[in-house]
Homo-oligomer: A and B are copies of this chain.
Amino acid sequence: MATTAAPRRRDADATRARILKAAGAEFARHGFAGARGERIAQRARSSERMIYYYFGSKDGLFRAVLEQAYAQLRDAERSVQLDPDDPWNALEQFCRFVWRYYLEHPEFISLLNTENLYRARHLRRSARLGELVSPIAQMLSRMLAGGAAKGVFRDDIDETELYVAIASLGYFCLSNRHTLSAVLGRDVAAREALERYWAGALRMIAGYVRREPHAGAGALEALPAAIAEVDRL
């Protein structure tokens, strides 16, 4: 019995996994409301009935898809290795990891956009919400502390703000690639264009993080009063 149950269970898991994968692709491609159970069943080589059997409802399925998407990101983040002795290199690696992840996981961007349309309804109902918090925040935190200790990074940088800024600079272009490309008349997410853009973004981030060589205040004085004031907020 145990011997027959094992493969069975594994079949069940496999079916569940196939459905989850197919659902991820479908939700990413068509959004939540536009996703079709029929198409998911087909892609998963299963039946609509099985979707309800395993996930209970379309909302339940989408929640599972989101949880899986976040889990995959978290796993990828865990594999990132930043050199603690070379803060600049670590910063670059960090940025490149984030941007490359977005580039290589367009479904993730789409799923996030969809979930934001629903005001994070599914995410908030996730029992695994706590596990979703990114381990990368600590990584960034350590990196900033290391750079500050070495005197090359500013020591007053909010790690979350920096993370959001880095994410922003990678996300926007990819998320809006179709409208941007249509309006501008060229593919803004073509590999070459992207590399050039990332170079500028990296410079932007580096310039922001860098400890001003000749007294921080001095550099700020070069900025107009208005912006300097903003800095003090």
Query: For chain A, what secondary structure do more than half of its interface residues adopt (helix, strand, loop), or is it mixed?
Result: helix
B contact residues around A78 at 8 Å (CB): none
Q: How large is the interface on A (under 10, 10 to 19, 20 to 34, 35 or more residues)?
A: 35 or more
B contact residues around A92 at 8 Å (CB): 224, 226-227, 230
A116-B226 contact given A171-B172, A208-B203, A208-B204, CB 8 Å threshold? no
Is A180 on the interface with B (CB-CB < 8 A)? yes
Decide: A224 and B112 in contact? CB cutoff 8 A. no
Copies in the complex: 4
A202 to B207, CA, bound (A): 12
Decide: B233 and A120 in contact? CB cutoff 8 A. no
A31 to B114, CA, bound (A): 8
B contact residues around A82 at 8 Å (CB): none
Partner of A200, one of B30, B161, B167, B188: B161
Is A76 on the interface with B (CB-CB < 8 A)? no
A210 to B116, CA, bound (A): 35
B contact residues around A223 at 8 Å (CB): 88, 206, 210
Mark out the residues of chain A between 185 and 207 whose CB falls within 8 Å of any chain B CB in the assembled complex: 188, 195-207
A188 to B160, CA, bound (A): 10
A231 to B198, CA, bound (A): 10
For residue A222, which residue of chain B has the nearest CB?
Answer: B213
Decide: A114 and B112 in contact? CB cutoff 8 A. no
11 contacts between A and B (CB under 8 A): A31-B34, A88-B223, A91-B227, A112-B179, A115-B179, A120-B179, A123-B182, A165-B200, A172-B172, A203-B231, A207-B207
